[in-house]
Amino acid sequence: MPDITWYHGNERLSIARDSFNCQVHIKSLSREMSGAKLRCRVDPPLLQHLVKDVSLKVYLKPQYVRVTGSGATRAGHERSFVCTTRGSKPAPNIDWFINAQKIDSGLTQVEVDGQLTRSILTWRVRREDSGRELVCRVSNPWFPAYTLEDSIVLEVIYPPIPQISLIEPRESHQLREDEDAVLLCSADASPPAFNFSFYKGFEDHLIRDDPVGGISVEGQKLFLHGLRRHHSARYRCRAWNSEGSGLSEALSLNILSRPECSAGNVVQQIAGAPGGEVRARCSVSAPSARDAGPLKFYWTYNGTRDVLPIPVSNVTTMGSSSTAIHGLPNIDDEDLGWLACWARNDIGNQREPCLFRIMPAGYPESPSNCEIENDIIRCEAGHDGGLPQWFVMEALGVKQQEVQRNDLDSAMNDQGMSGRGLTETVYKTSNDATPQFPLDSLSPGRYTFLIYAVNPRGRSLQPAALHSVPVRTMEDLDRPGSLQTMTPSPPQLSPQDNSVPLLVGAVLALVMLTILTTLCVTLVVMCKKKPRRTRDTEQNALTRNVGVSMYSGTALSPSIVPTVVVRGHRGSRVLAARWSGVLDDTPLAVLALDTRPHCKLEADMEIHSEDDIQETEFIRHENMETQTDS
């Protein structure tokens, strides 16, 4: 049989042999045997020896693992961490974990250099990663039960994230007036927060120490001593560190408090008449009845001599308001006393009452700035005199023989109107809310409208007046010559009164005729010195001269005035221009249209031919219709 031997280098290995096989057993493989070559030598008798080399492939466990990349990292920034291992054959599996959760391998890069294997993790550090453990775990698939791992603790720096809480007492809904409360501002911050401040309200007003108001700030705590209603608000806090600052979410405090007068109702002034009754309404602000119990009211009257409780029968309560009725003494005094209103709930009695000073009531002011627009008279209401007021409108018919404006100036009655030329009141209406009255119930004709205010003391001293307003129907407006039928006509005297006025009129006519003749001659001479303007220029100037003349201090000559038009007689819509009313004794000149052509003595004097005069009359007629329909 041939001689068979095994060698490791020059070392002969022990073998086990049978008839045809020769095996070598290596009881303990060392790491150095990895890649080693074993040689098998066969020496047959009488023949040349044979040699065969065999390379050993040994699977090795990883020898160690190390993680580098520790240090503080700002939240939101990327950081690279390196895991290095050595000695594993084949190359090991390297896995990363944070807070026991495996990180996606797509974030890693593996490098192999001989027996060294590196895994590089690029990680965007988050605020919540602060203090967590980053682990690198190495394993060889041929040794499933064997792993090596290394780890580091992440240090993340970030601005504070504060939180405000009530630490005394524990439940904010149980805060009651006169108790104390403590708020704490805690902050999640790296590095730790070193400065704190507190804010109040929706506008985040900075809270400062206020010993008088029972407020003090000590580090992370806000102390509120002797809680009051004004402490009911939302509170926030801010914390600072080297990375910046952060503002907390809001904490709302609800203080269960005593009733208080509503804003603007602490001291009020009401009007009353001696010997009459006054009514006062008291409104308070208080927590809901579910939290602080129902409200109970009581009233007193503080007169000049004593304080009297108002009987419960004279008091009505609804929710957070109460109304009291009280009879006043029949005395003539500038100060009729005071009414005082208190409320209470389960928290306690109202500290300061709601007060009502009773002053003697006066007459209401007259309405002002009256105008007719569309089909309605509208005025502005004046002061009510301290008592509820309502408004009344009277329509007085105007006769066709209405007196001239200059007569009205000299014969005004207490209503701002002359009695001559007016019939009795033909229409009267009232409005409890506003001085506003529709005119669609009037018959065609001319009317003077009187609008005044009324309260329990009486009527306004002088009404607002709209004089001689024409009211027409659409049928009358379409009739030829209808515009002239509604214009003011001169007063007509009876036959027995004609003698003296006719004599005076004749003398005045002669004087006026002489003056007018002299003026006409002068104007003709002066106008001949100027070149003729074109007819278009004259018409434009004349058109510009047709304007609206509102009320002035003096009465105007009777002229064509806009007409209030009613369609279909009674009950129809009124179409009107704008009219204005005044409160003084001067009669109203309403929308007078001046259609007379004019020329300036110094610049625009000219003589019109007969054709020009006729054309001017045509233009005047057109403009009058246009103004009337507008």
| Residue range 268-281, pLDDT digits in tens | 988 888 888 889 99
Split into its structural domains, the chain has a count of: 5
* pTM for this prediction: 0.50
The parent domain of residue 243 ranges over: 157-253
The confidence score (pLDDT) of residue 527 equals 60
Cα–Cα distance between 366 and 464 in angstroms, integer?
7
Ramachandran region, residue 421 (left: φ > 0; alpha: ψ -120 to 50; beta: rest): left
Tell me how far CA of residue 112 lies from CA of 115, 116, 120, in angstroms. 7, 6, 12
> Which residue type sits at 326?
H
The residue out of 101, 121, 153 marking a domain boundary is 153
Domain with residue 412: its CATH number is 2.60.40.10
The confidence score (pLDDT) of residue 6 equals 84
Q: Do 464 and 524 have their domain in common?
A: yes
Cα–Cα distance between 227 and 169 in angstroms, integer?
12
Cα–Cα distance between 398 and 558 in angstroms, integer?
15
Cα–Cα distance between 303 and 202 in angstroms, integer?
44
Query: pLDDT tens for residues 65-102?
Result: 999 987 888 998 999 999 999 988 888 999 999 988 99
Q: Do 242 and 139 have their domain in common?
A: no
Q: Do 409 and 529 have their domain in common?
A: yes
Within-domain flag for 499: no
The residue out of 207, 237, 253 marking a domain boundary is 253
Q: Do 335 and 188 have their domain in common?
A: no
Within-domain flag for 503: no
CA atoms within 13 A on the CB side of 626: 12
| Residue ranges in the chain whose pLDDT is less than 50 | 402-420, 481-500, 530-563, 565-630
Tell me how far CA of residue 5 lies from CA of 26, 45, 48, 446, 544, in angstroms. 14, 14, 15, 149, 139
Q: How many helices (H) and strands (E) does the chain have?
A: 7, 45
Cα–Cα distance between 275 and 358 in angstroms, integer?
13
The tokens describing 480, both together, are 């030829």
Within-domain flag for 200: yes
Q: Do 429 and 402 have their domain in common?
A: yes
The residue out of 138, 153, 168 marking a domain boundary is 153
Cα–Cα distance between 499 and 373 in angstroms, integer?
45
Segments in 404-498 forming alpha helices (H): 405-410, 474-478, 482-485
- Where b means 16+ CB within 10 Å and e means fewer, 116-154 reads ebbbbbebebebebbebebbbbbbbeeeeeebbbbbbeb
Within-domain flag for 506: no
User: Which burial class, exposed, middle or buried, applies to 534 when counting CB atoms under 10 A from its CB (0-12, 13-18, 19+)?
Assistant: exposed
The confidence score (pLDDT) of residue 612 equals 39
The confidence score (pLDDT) of residue 477 equals 54
Q: Do 188 and 110 have their domain in common?
A: no
Cα–Cα distance between 525 and 566 in angstroms, integer?
50
Q: Do 89 and 213 have their domain in common?
A: no
The confidence score (pLDDT) of residue 329 equals 83
Within-domain flag for 429: yes
Q: Do 308 and 426 have their domain in common?
A: no
Within-domain flag for 498: no
The confidence score (pLDDT) of residue 524 equals 67
Q: Do 283 and 305 have their domain in common?
A: yes
Please answer whether residues 571 and 440 qualify as being in contact, where contact means their C-beta atoms are separated by less than 8 angstroms: yes
Q: Do 355 and 371 have their domain in common?
A: no
Tell me how far CA of residue 468 lies from CA of 51, 210, 443, 471, in angstroms. 146, 70, 14, 9
The confidence score (pLDDT) of residue 346 equals 93
Q: Do 124 and 162 have their domain in common?
A: no
Tokens 């005297």 belong to residue = 493
The confidence score (pLDDT) of residue 503 equals 64
Within-domain flag for 569: yes
Within-domain flag for 269: yes
Looking at residue 611, the DSSP 8-state letter turns out to be H
Q: Do 101 and 42 have their domain in common?
A: no
Largest CA distance in the chain: 189
Cα–Cα distance between 436 and 364 in angstroms, integer?
17
The confidence score (pLDDT) of residue 525 equals 64
